[in-house]
Amino acid sequence: MNGAAASERSPLPLAQAPSPSPSPSPSPPLEWRFSQVFGERSAGEEVQDVDIISAIEFNKSGHHLATGDRGGRVVLFERTDAKDHACRKEAEKADYSISMHPEFRYKTEFQSHEPEFDYLKSLEIGEKINQIKWCQAANDALFLLSTNDKTIKFWKVQEKKVKKVSEMNLDHSTAPANGSPGGAGCPSASLSNGGVLKPGGLPLLRLPVVQVTSQETSLAASCRRVFTHAHDYHINSISNNSDGETFISADDLRINLWNLEISNQSFNIIDVKPTNMEDLTEVITSAEFHPTHCNTLAYSSSKGSIRLVDLRQSALCDTHSQIFEQHEAPGSRSFFTEIVASISDIKFTKDGRHILSRDYMTLKLWDVKMNSGPVATFQVHEYLRPKLCDLYENDSIFDKFECCQSGDGLRVATGSYSNIFRVFGCGAGSNEATTLEATRNPTRRQLQNPTGPARSLSSTLTRAVRRGAESTGIDANGNAYDLSTKLLHLAWHPTENLIACAAANSLYMYYA
């Protein structure tokens, strides 16, 4: 690990008081505007399953955006207004709240994963991209990790100059018809390049002169390493370490530590698999490294808890340094309590002081110095609580929504059904709650936002799959909702108020 990362290995202290809020006064709600859309389908066009976007990730600078889909493809976009925007930011003293219309363009795409078949286990392995993580760029090349259920790949994307022959002094008009130096039966003849072949002698050749120019550049994606054969269950998370050298991969029962330079060996650092699988009560649902402490990571479970782990404690981190969980009120348990309590995604905030978690019904913000409960709870679609039976019947209750936070830490966002996403203010005294639909003309929709906490899941290894219940209805405010259209994946630009979100095969961008 490098010196910069090693110097920040101080443990995270445990306290029972919330940390200071990031802002002394609430900021006004943002006015979101449509920016761009890629892959928008026309009216009546049927979306192919392989084209549905399954992963979104901005790189650290925000100049590039990567998406992955169920067909195993990775598509890269690059920002085109970066220079003008940088000049404006400099002139306006880099005020985070000031934003201009951002513009991205398609950069390149490549096939990251292909369908596979494990003959030893008689198991089909799909090509769907589960997650994408950007790595440190070097020498004008981009590096990223992509994973499906079993295999992680390390990619390098770099511009290469295409060399073309612009001029050659070879005269093809004097070339022999049959391809022999002097033609059939000709003892002495002129060569096509101006040399002379004498009977019984060596040819006197004049070598052609070729002029090569580099007029075009093309982007080439090359797979540098393949990390495989380390997970018995489906990989749900990958996360880069702040040391720039290692990363973790997590499945339902284990978390492995890898070195980016070594693909044939990994270290199992967390194992929750019981000796008897009948004793299994929870599974790992998400995992992420701390943004600055290279020895600290967090992982969530299907019981709604988040565990903080210090890698310096032992080689196998079977004990946690902290646990964050919220217990339900006595007598409030039901058949769906664990199902909706399952955490589908966790994210450290940029400064590492908070953890954002998404369960089925709510978005929660946790202070890493206070494990008595979340410092904020945001209701996402509380109007669905009376319909949990229907959601279970049509399998919607197992949908895994992602979450994200703005770079300044003042707002959080997550998706819901009917292709809507919600933005909440998490600064001191903020009551911002904006609901927008992924479309060219986003309209603010009103949704009730009760203050009562909600819960979340059951084991993904043992959950039942049922179909057939109604997928449409009316919410508490009279707005129609459609469970077949869902906004699961979204990402917030690291330095600006720009959100990229996926609605089926379409990538929408909004700025404020």
Q: CATH no. for residue 253?
A: 2.130.10.10
User: CA 445 → CA 215, 277, 420, 434, 435, distances in Å?
Assistant: 51, 46, 9, 8, 5
Place of tokens 């994200």: 404
Strands (E), 99-242: 104-111, 116-118, 123-125, 131-134, 142-147, 152-168, 189-190, 196-197, 210-227, 237-240
Question: Would you call 491 helix, strand, or coil by DSSP?
Answer: strand
Q: Tell me, yes or no, whether 168 lies in a domain.
A: no
Flag whether 145 is in a domain. yes
Percent of the chain with pLDDT over 70: 74
In a domain, 186, yes or no: no
Residues contacting 345, CB < 8 A, separation 6+: 285, 286, 300, 357, 358, 400, 401, 402, 403
Helix, strand, coil percentages in the chain from 3-state DSSP, rounded to 5: 10, 40, 50
Question: In the prediction, which pLDDT does 444 show?
Answer: 64
pLDDT score at 87? 52
pTM confidence score = 0.79
Ranges of residues in the chain whose predicted pLDDT is under 50: 1-23, 91-94, 96, 177-189, 193, 448-469
Q: Which tens digit of pLDDT belongs to each residue from 149-180?
A: 999 999 999 988 777 666 666 555 555 544 44
187 found inside a domain: no
- In the chain, the number of structural domains is 1
> Cα 380 to the chain's mean position, in Å?
21
**Nearest 5°: CA angle at 431, between 100 and 377?**
110
The pLDDT, as a whole number, for residue 67 is: 98
pLDDT tens track for 42-77:
777 888 999 999 999 999 999 999 999 999 999 999
Quote the pLDDT of residue 83.
57
- Assess if residue 179 is contained within a domain: no
End-to-end CA distance of the chain: 38
Considering the domain boundaries, does residue 215 fall inside one?
Answer: no
Phi-psi category of residue 191: left, alpha or beta, with phi > 0 → left and psi -120 to 50 → alpha: beta
Q: pLDDT value at position 84?
A: 55
Q: Domain of 283?
A: 15-154+227-511
- Residue 156: phi, psi to the nearest 5? -120, 130
Residue 117 lies in a domain: yes
Residue 456: count of CB within 10 angstroms of its CB: 27
Three-class secondary structure of residue 46 per DSSP: coil
